[in-house]
């Protein structure tokens, strides 16, 4: 990776060749553990999971069954070995059965904190017993967020179809969270990283998307051009240079890119750059001048105009206040 003042924004000299652009997007997906919990409950029970900004939540049932409900999406029933991924930081509800009233926000309920980022929640009832492993993970990087933007409100991975990877990873995660050992949280975060990536891969494998960003990634020639932009957003891209990456003529590349992605290639480049800029300004410590230079702009003024046009606010405002909307790349 190439270092720049204030952070890392490009990838160069990779020691491997990605199998496909989608695989590279998954390769660069990075999550960081924010909080984990283990639930041991006898029904009936239900808890509200609050919204967590740019985070991913996952829930795994190891014993019994539970339901995950996200507004606007059908309820998802989880049985042992199943995993539900809520990728957009949205609030949702966990229930022992549909219709059970909530006991309140999970973070406000009595629980045993084994560390600042790990707790055990127990509930005594008269109904069926359930055990769950849950986690909240922050997502790092503009490209990672672009990938998560593709996902539905809930990703359900059936444990029976998840294969050996699912069973093995869940067993290791459960063991780490059940038996406190030195470095346990670091190991758990890496295992959660695997769970999230494998879950997204399982969802992608089941899709037949032929348009938009994902559809373009699946076309080898367009995918090569998009991957190059994601690797080096600050390179002085033109339609001609992108066409060379795609091994296509300029006219054929331009027409095909617009047809599949839904916008001209250079508009996509600008939008992705602004997504990177919003990420660097809102979550890093780079100055506006540094980000402008990293993304190939000759002046801070021209960068600021492009940023405000895409994001709707000035780059300075984003730097002063995190949590502002990031530009959408479809």
Angle ∠(115,120,124) on CA atoms, nearest 5: 155
Order of all β-strands in the sheet with 83-86: 112-115, 118-123, 30-42, 129-140, 55-63, 83-86, 155-157
Q: What is the dihedral of CA 249, 252, 258, 260, to 10 degrees?
A: -110
Please tell me the predicted confidence (pLDDT) of residue 13. Answer: 35
* Calpha distance 154→163 (Å, rounded): 20
Residue 129: CB atoms within 10 Å: 12
Q: What is the mean pLDDT of residues 203-207?
A: 73
pLDDT at residue 77 tops 60: yes
Report the range of poorest mean pLDDT among 4-8, 63-67, 130-134.
4-8
Give CA separation, 271 vs 27, 311, 312, 326, 330, in Å: 22, 9, 12, 10, 10
Q: What is the mean pLDDT of residues 145-174?
A: 78
pLDDT at residue 221 tops 60: yes
pLDDT at residue 39 tops 80: yes
Report the range of poorest mean pLDDT among 38-47, 83-92, 188-197.
188-197
pLDDT at residue 4 tops 50: no
Contact (Cβ atoms closer than 8 angstroms) between residue 86 and residue 199: no
Please tell me the predicted confidence (pLDDT) of residue 75. Answer: 94
Q: What is the mean pLDDT of residues 154-158?
A: 89
3-state per-residue secondary structure call for 69-129 = ECCCCCCEEECCCCEEEECCCCCEEEECCCCCCCCCEHHHCCCEEEECCEEEEEECCCCCE
User: What is the pTM assigned to this prediction?
Assistant: 0.70
Please tell me the predicted confidence (pLDDT) of residue 6. Answer: 37
Order of all β-strands in the sheet with 76-78: 46-49, 92-95, 66-69, 76-78
pLDDT 10s digits, 255-281 = 999 999 889 999 999 988 988 888 788
Q: What is the mean pLDDT of residues 195-224?
A: 78
pLDDT at residue 163 tops 70: no
């Amino acid at each position: 990776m190439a270092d720049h003042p204030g952070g890392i924004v490009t990838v160069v000299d990779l020691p491997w060749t990605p199998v496909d652009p989608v695989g590279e997007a998954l390769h660069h997906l990075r999550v960081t553990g924010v909080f984990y919990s283990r639930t041991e409950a006898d029904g009936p029970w239900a808890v509200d999971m609050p919204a967590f900004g740019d985070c991913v939540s996952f829930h795994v049932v190891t014993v019994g069954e539970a339901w995950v409900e996200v507004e606007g999406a059908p309820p998802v029933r989880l049985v042992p070995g199943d995993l539900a991924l809520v990728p957009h930081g949205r609030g949702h509800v966990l229930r022992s059965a549909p219709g059970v009233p909530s006991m309140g926000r999970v973070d406000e309920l009595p629980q045993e904190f084994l560390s600042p980022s790990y707790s055990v929640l127990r509930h005594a009832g008269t109904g069926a017993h359930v055990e769950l492993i849950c986690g909240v993970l922050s997502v790092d990087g503009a490209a990672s967020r672009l990938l998560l933007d593709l996902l539905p409100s809930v990703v359900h991975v059936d444990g029976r179809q998840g294969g050996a990877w699912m069973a093995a990873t869940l067993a290791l995660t459960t063991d780490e969270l059940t038996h406190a050992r030195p470095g346990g949280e670091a190991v758990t975060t890496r295992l959660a990283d695997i769970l999230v990536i494998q879950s997204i891969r399982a969802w992608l494998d089941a899709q037949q998307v032929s348009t938009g960003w994902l559809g373009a990634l699946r076309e080898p020639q367009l995918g090569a051009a998009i991957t190059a932009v994601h690797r080096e957003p600050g390179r002085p891209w033109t339609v001609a240079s992108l066409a060379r990456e795609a091994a296509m003529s300029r006219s054929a590349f331009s027409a095909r890119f617009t047809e599949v992605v839904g916008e001209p290639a250079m508009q996509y480049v600008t939008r992705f750059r602004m997504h990177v800029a919003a990420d660097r300004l809102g979550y890093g410590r780079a100055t506006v001048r540094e980000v402008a230079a990293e993304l190939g702009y000759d002046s801070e003024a021209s960068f600021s105009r492009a940023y405000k046009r895409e994001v709707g606010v000035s780059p300075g405002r984003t730097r002063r206040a995190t949590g502002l909307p990031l530009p959408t790349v479809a």
